[in-house]
Structure 1
Amino acid sequence: MKNIKIETTLEVYDSVSELPVAIQKVINKAHEARKKAYAPYSHFNVGAAILLDNGEIIEGNNQENAAFPSGLCAERVAAFYAGSKFPKMAFKALAITAGSIKNVNETPIPPCGACRQSLAEYEVNQKTPIEVYFMGEKGKVVKATSVKSLLPLIFDSSYL
């Protein structure tokens, strides 16, 4: 038998103001996107924003549906739109902000597994890491230096 140890180091910032100005702008766009989310069932609004290599910031928000599996998370809405509008453009950073409309959430909320897997595909294809910043509605911000650090045993096309 052999053990494999997997470790991830994340950076935690006390507030958005501690981040570089360019990243603050991306987080602000994620906040704006969250306000436009369609979440009538969970009442849990998520906003995402992706900074592209060309400086464009693409926004997305969660879109729910009464047939629950038919909805889509904010991160994938933003990623799929960015991939369709700017197919050759690398993702530099992703910012996510999330919270319930019933109470204020200050706990950093990372992307779900399906979003991590989808984002990993972009990271593998572009051959450069995507920084991931996530937070609640306010408060602390967590930074992962890459999607792979959030999903270390990624499944990619090399297995096919």
Structure 2
Amino acid sequence: MATELTINISIDVLEKAEELNAQEREAMQLAQDAAKDAYAPYSNYLVGATLLLEDGTFFKGSNQENAAYPSGLCAERTALFGMSANHPNKKIKLIAVTARRREDTHFLPAMPCGACRQVMAEYEHKQHDKIPVLLQGPDGSFYRFKAVSDLLPFLFTSDNL
């Protein structure tokens, strides 16, 4: 007999930037700045991501497209892979992600793709500690998740191998 499994995920919805703490505001501003550096000549969809590391430093990434699809890479993964290559033993304390269309000045809701969620989950699993995620929401709002696992509740990790 089948049983029902219910998953509850709590998301803080913040209506404006003033509701973010100082580090979250800085991380989101840096993510917005990183979006300006995106190489997105095909989609014109600019994505920026920022990682807050345990020592208080920030590490940015932006999406990088390529005419030979799917050779490009999302902002979240450029930030994570770059950080890991340069600071392999530092823990991540926050991931912030934002996006906008090239022709727009306002930012759009930014939801990581499935591949990025999986990579983010791998880093959360690797550091044995939750990584909060801050995403740009609609109309200047923000979504604060307590952990990457809230974005991908059934994680595939090395424990599954």
**Same-fold call, TM > 0.5?**
yes
- For the Cα contact (< 8 Å) 1:26–1:51, is it kept in 2? yes
Q: What are the ranges of 5 or more consecutive residues in structure 1 without an aligned counterpart?
A: none
- Percent identity over the alignment is 41
Deviations 1:10-52 (A, max 9, x none): 1111112211011111111101100010000000000000000
- For the Cα contact (< 8 Å) 2:49–2:75, is it kept in 1? yes
Counterpart-to-counterpart distance in 2, 1:105 and 1:157: 39
Counterpart-to-counterpart distance in 2, 1:159 and 1:98: 33
Counterpart-to-counterpart distance in 1, 2:105 and 2:148: 27
Counterpart-to-counterpart distance in 2, 1:58 and 1:48: 8
Alignment of 1:96-111 (within 5 A): 96-103=97-104, 107-111=108-112
- For the Cα contact (< 8 Å) 1:97–1:137, is it kept in 2? no
- For the Cα contact (< 8 Å) 1:63–1:72, is it kept in 2? yes
Provide the aligned length of Structure 1 versus Structure 2: 160
Moved more, 101-110 or 13-22: 101-110
Alignment of 1:140-159 (within 5 A): 140-159=141-160
TM-score, with structure 2 as normaliser: 0.94
Counterpart-to-counterpart distance in 1, 2:54 and 2:159: 25
- For the Cα contact (< 8 Å) 2:14–2:20, is it kept in 1? yes
Counterpart-to-counterpart distance in 2, 1:5 and 1:137: 27
Which residue in the other structure is 2:55 paired with?
Answer: 54
Q: What are the ranges of 5 or more consecutive residues in structure 2 without an aligned counterpart?
A: none
- For the Cα contact (< 8 Å) 2:98–2:107, is it kept in 1? no
RMSD over aligned CA atoms reads 1.5
Following TM superposition, the consecutive aligned residue runs of length 4 or more in structure 1 with deviations greater than 6 angstroms are none
